[in-house]
Amino acid sequence: MKLPSCSVCEYSFQWKELIFIMGSKKCPDCGGHQYVTARRKRHGLWFGPAAGILTAITVQVVNLPFSLLWPAAAGIIIAAFMLNPFWLEFTEKEEPLF
């Protein structure tokens, strides 16, 4: 797995710079705005519902006691946040979503 880099100056973003990102990110090296590609944003739209369904299925199959349910769900969400930076892709122009 590899973190994305700036599409202008090839600066490699650090993981902690990418955890909370909403659509665009300013490059600390060249100062240019980097936008998440439309392809990645479209995939992102599916992520919420897919994660919800996956959690619901996991809960049915694994049959966790209720006291473990919320920690397990929180764990899945935190893991998704931590992995999100590896999945991002940047471009210097904002692309239309559709």
| Binders of Zn ion in range 35-94 (CB under 5 A) | none
Amino acid at 86: F
Separation of alpha carbons 78 and 83, rounded Å: 9
- Of the two residues 31 and 52, which places its CB atom closer to Zn ion in the complex? 31
Query: To the nearest whole angstrom, how small is the minimum distance from the Cβ of residue 81 to Zn ion?
Result: 24
| Binders of Zn ion in range 1-30 (CB under 5 A) | 6, 8-9, 11, 27, 29-30
Buried b (16+ CB within 10 A) or exposed e, 24-33: ebebeeeeeb
Q: Which residues bind Zn ion (CB under 5 A)?
A: 6, 8-9, 11, 27, 29-30
